[in-house]
Amino acid sequence: MSMNNVRFGTVLPETLRVYRRQLGILWGVAALISLPQYIVEVLLGQGSVGTVLDLVIGAVSDAWLGATIVLLVWPMLQVKSSNHSPLVESLIHPARRIVSISILVAGTQIAVGTALAFLIVPGVGLFTIWFAALPALVVEGEGVFGAWRRSEELTKGYRKYLVWVALFVLAIQLSMALFALLLGPLGLAGTLFSFGSDVVVYPFSVVAMTIVYAALVEHPEGSQPDLSA
């Protein structure tokens, strides 16, 4: 596989192209899946019950949305294919494995977040190693640990290029999280900002992950998607 396919200068333009092409669908799906979490947050506030429910629903929402986006984007990246996964099927399919997907997404967030809290470099490195884990789980049907191992295998030899993609995605996510934290005391305004961030930023991140995964795996045709086109 050409290393140019996983360089920052190739992945970012391709991510932007796919993101813009599917903007309406991505934002609509993200709003639909993320909304319950914020309804609970507004209705129950920041009490212990509300916080627990918010965390649980948030983890499931991130997992469901991430898997749905992978299913929507993956067919577009197949060589010589312009197919799209049916929207309803892409929304329903993740329910069959929502526990595994939720554990993978939450586990990755916790592990990377913990590593970042102690030292930035290990956190970025871990995120780079697991960058393709979610698509691996959704597309290949891997289990949680199998998806992490699969991502580790796929990214081996390419991490010095992928780290810049991972760092960019991580920087966007952390910036939005920081702004949401700062706006938290404002009540509804903070909630609306967090909701908007989930709708706009998270789909972009998953599109980037799926594009990197597509560049790393071999397709049935035996060739790689040309992301430099």
- Beta strands (DSSP E) in 79-159 are none
Structure tokens at 224: 């790689």
Taking only the tens place, the pLDDT of each residue in 40-97 is 777 766 554 456 676 788 888 999 999 999 999 998 887 545 555 678 888 888 888 8
Terminal-to-terminal C-alpha distance of the chain: 15
96-119: average pLDDT = 89
Question: Residue 177 is inside which H or E element, if any?
Answer: helix 159-183
**Which pLDDT value is given to residue 83?**
55
Q: Look at 113 and 220; give whichever has higher pLDDT.
A: 113
105-124: average pLDDT = 86
Q: Look at 141 and 49; give whichever has higher pLDDT.
A: 141
Over the chain, what is the mean pLDDT? 83
**Contact status, residue 107 vs residue 144, Cβ threshold 8 Å:** yes
Taking only the tens place, the pLDDT of each residue in 166-197 is 999 999 988 887 887 777 666 677 778 888 88
139-163: average pLDDT = 92
Exposure of 90 in the CB half-sphere (CA atoms within 13 A): 21
Q: What is the DSSP string of 105-140?
A: HHHHHHHHHHHHHH-HHHHHHHHHHTTTHHHHHHHH
- The domain spans of the chain are 3-216
**Which pLDDT value is given to residue 127?**
93
- DSSP 8-state class, residue 65: H
Check whether 155 has a pLDDT greater than 80.
Answer: yes
- Between the CA of residue 114 and those of 117, 123, 211, what are the distances in Å? 5, 7, 26
**Which pLDDT value is given to residue 176?**
84
- Residues 228 and 211: their CA atoms lie apart, in Å, by 12
Check whether 138 has a pLDDT greater than 70.
Answer: yes
